Each structure stands twice: as structure tokens, then as C-alpha cells.
Structure 1
Amino acid sequence: MQKLPVVTQALRTPEARFADLPDFAYTPHYTEIGGLRVAHIDEGPRDAPIVLLMHGEPTWSFLYRKMIPVLVGAGYRVLAPDLVGFGRSDKPAKKSDYSYLNHVLWMKEWMQANDLRGITLFCQDWGSLVGLRMVAEAPDRFDRIVLANGGLPTGSEEVPRAFKIWRAFARFSPWFPIGRIVKTGCVGGLSPQEVAAYDAPFPSGRYAVAARTFPGFVPTSPKDPEHQNNQRAWELFKRWDKPFLTLFSNRDPVTRGGYKAWQKLVPGAQGQPHAITRNAGHFLQEDKGAEVALAIVAFMRGSPGPHQAPAGESAGNSL
């Protein structure tokens, strides 16, 4: 069994940095994982079906502020964790503490520590690279999956030029304005207050090690250390017969068209109401958050899993 990494030094963003966040007055909850404090939002009835919202790079659970009220209003329990190195979660200080595998181990342990079951996963960007591996590690905990602007690369696929540019920028640019980076991934832009909210977890560059290193962990070659683990996960998804929905957007240069393999290869994706989210960029949660949340609600009500009683173009459909 793979062990959690030993982290000897971690930073914790001062809570004052999170004061007066726009439309995000949720109480954070914390779980101690391998000596690190992992934060998450937990809203809605404790005994309701769970929707797990996994953020990516370089965002945090603030990304889901437009979706949480819709999902809670529909009667679901919503959990939105901050990955280690992001949001209110602790941030290991050393670059060597971070790896793709370590993030999978941390979040798998977080899921088990909170004993989450009957989960509907919504994942985007790095939320999918980590979240889909969580599914592969513990498939019995999940009832269904919604994938948006993300995937599970093995290193055998062609790498989009837009991603190569982003990876080089994250590695070499001395200027790394996280809030403005998120803004560029939104068709509708962000207000100054929203940009500041994305900057909040990172008082200085010392806190942004994860945000800087994540692009370099995406498998881009069969020689990547996570190539085999992601291939094994794909083998599970090729047999996955629980409901699987794709909700990609039409204005993301990195993941555009990434739904095709999932719709073709995953048994549970057959006949589902897949949709393209129009006029939305990479961060469709910002551009079309309420619409995406309503699509999740409709999907869940139309495909009740074993832990949920029914409620009272494939790619060409649009939101």
C-alpha cells in the first residue's frame, strides 16, 4: 500500500486573507491528513446524496460559489475541498513535496477520513486528473461522474499547443498573477474583487509552489511516472457502467473536444444527455456556473444511483 508523503514544512495562509470574499460566506471545515490541514466546504443536509466538486489549477473552492447554492437548493449535500497547496489547505513549502501521486494519495485519504459514499463527482481541470484517480482507487464510493473541461491523460496523447504555452509560462515566468490567470480563462472575465479572491490563498510566491508546479505534472510522455497508473484507471473506466456525463465548454483551447474519448469508450456514458456549454471558457464554473449546476441536478434526477431514490447532441446539446 502506498504511504502518504512525509511533509516537514508547510505554510498556512492567514485566515484574514479570506475576509469579505464575494458570494462565498461558507464556513470551512478541516481534516488532518498526514500532518497537513485540508480544507473543504460542506453545505446541505448531511444525509442527502453527495455532490463532490473538485477544483483544478490554479483555483480553489471559491470557483464553485455559483454552483453550490443551486445544488444545495435541489436538496443535495455539496462538498468542495481545497487541494493541498491551494485555498485554505496547507501548502508544503518544498517543491519536492509535490507530485501527481501525492495529490491523489492526499485526496483519497481525505475522502476516506470523511467516509464519503454515494458520491456524484464533478471534476474540471486538475480536479479531473485527481478526481478520476480517486474514483479508480475507490470505485464503490461513487455513483456517477460528471466530467467538464478535463481528462485523464496517460502521456500517449497529443499535447495541445495552448497547454505547452501555459506549462512554459508557469515554469519560467517571474510574474505569476494567479487571479489574472484565472480571469483569462473566463469568457465573461472577473471583477476586481473576484480576482483578489483567487489571489487570496497566495500572500507571496512562497505559497504558490503548487500552482507553479502542477502544469509540469500532467503526463505528456509514456515515460511519465504516472503513465501506468492512469492507464490502469482508464481500464476501469472502459468497464464503468454507472452514469457518466460530459459537460465541456466550447471556448477552451486546452480541452476542446476532450469529451470524445469518454463518450466513445465509457459504457456508462452511452445515451447520457451530454452537452456543450456555449460561451464559456476553461473555467465554465465562472462563466456558466448556475447552468452547469442545473445540468448536474437534471442528470442526477434522471439517473438515480444505488444510494439515491428517484426525485419527484450527445455532444451537440448546449447549455
Structure 2
Amino acid sequence: MSLKTNRKQLVMTAVQGGVAPAHQWAPFEVGSGGEVFSWPSTGGITYNVKIGDSVFGWAGEHIEPGVSSTLSHSNRKVEAGYHFLACCGNQVRVISGEAKGEFGTVLGHHGGVNHLMIDFPDATLEKLTCDDKFLVRGYGQGLQLIDHPDVYLYNLDPDVLDTWGLHEREDGKIEVPVHVMVPGHAMGSGIGSLSVTTGDYDILCHDAETVAEYGLDRLRFGDFVAVMDHDNRYGRTWRKGAVTIGVVIHSDSPLAGHGPGMMTLMSACDQKLVPVLSDHANLGALKGIGRYAVEL
């Protein structure tokens, strides 16, 4: 039996954005181990980094797969609404240029730079330019599990929730398929943020022993992951017994306090959410996009 939701009461709102300019943060940056690098980072149209790929091994940092998008490229107060309404799994339509009428899918939003990441098929990416515009069918904020008011949902398209494979147990707990379980002490940049409906926070992967112990080297773009002992109901904080589930939205980074980014999707306390490991716990696998797409 599927979990009952209030999807009929959700508001669907169009929001529109364009391609975010690619950004250079500094001529050179210094990583947590003292390494000096000058690499690509956020923004632009990224052709060869996709949902389903590993977040590691790229000659880049904080890489955003697919198309990075903003509303205005300048007004952060206005940008908040664009990110808030665009939820993981929402439909996106190209409304300009050679690719007009083609469709894509929202992956998630990246804090700090205020970018929204959108997946498009390869054939569409080849037609896009940095002047093109996108209409996002924003749908999902306010989503609730009717019989489980102690589970908080954010940034999640109800169609993704329905196909994810959540299972309600007899004891009232909910099993959630995830690809990786992250220990709470491995979370970095973004902790303390009061808003979980915009932005993300980072999984720290600079300690090789921790990476090996918890299998963090398995992280992929689009993965659903569980952060243990983290409460994201009203912001991001440590709380024993809490579990937060999110989706991986950007690549690893050598910078201290940074790593693969995760956008919050659900959170609950008292071990209400029970993560269950699955190789298929990835947005791409659910939607048939990114590396999971079957090109015609």
C-alpha cells in the first residue's frame, strides 16, 4: 500500500530561469591538504558530467551536472523563490532557441551560488546556448505524509516520492531506499543554515579512513543518501536518532569543509526513518535520465 499524501492540495507554480554563467572563484585555490589547483567549478552547460556519474575523480570542484540555472544571475532575494518552488524531479521545458519545446528534469539547488541544476538529454544539450530560458513547473513544497506528520518533506516532487519505493513497516517506521549512509560527523559546509528549502550542505570526504569505512566513495550525482543523527526539520543540526534523507547535487571538492553536496528531501527524529541500502536509489534510475537514459 502506498503512503497517503496531500498531493491534491499542493500548489503548482511556473518559475522561469536561464543558464547561469560559468564562474571562476580565484586564479588558484588551496585544498585541505595544501594542494594548489585551478579547476572548473560552478555554472554553465556541462556536457559530460551527468546524473549517475561518480562525484569523484573530476578535474573540477563543486561541479554541477547538466545545466546550471538562475533566475536573474544577480538578485539573490528574488532567486530564493526560484529555488524554493523548483523541486527534485520537477518537469522543465525549454522556451527559447533551437531546443524550444524540449523537456528536462530538476535535480536540485546549490547554496551559495544559488544555482538550480537541470538534467537534459544529450540531444537537447547540443542545441542549448547560454542565452536560453527554461520554464519549471514548480510542484512539491508543502508535501506531507498524511499518516506520518512527524516526517518532514521538502523540495520533493510527489511523483518521485511515489516511485521511490518507500515502505511503511508494521511498527510505523518508514524504510527509505538510499545508496549511501553518511555518518553525521562527516557533514560540513551548510550546517546551521536555517533554510532547508533552498541550498544544500556538503559531505566531507577528505579523511580516507572515513570514506572507506562508510563507502562514501560510492557517491554518485542523483543518489539518495541518508545522513545519520542529523535533524533537518527546521534547519540543519546534529540530533541523535534523527535521520535526514537527501539527493546528491554537486561533485566533491578539495576545499576544507566542502565535499559532495546534498539537498534535503526528508527528515524525522526518533529513528522514524530507516535507511535501506539499494544500488538503484538514484533519481536517474527512477526517471530514466542522466546515465540511465535510453537515447532514441
TM-score, normalized by length of structure 1? 0.28
Per the normalisation by structure 2, the TM-score is: 0.30
Task: Kindly indicate which of the two structures has a greater share of residues assigned to helix.
Answer: 1
Higher relative contact order, structure no. (Cα contacts within 8 Å, ≥ 6 residues apart)? 2
Could you say which structure has the higher strand fraction? 2
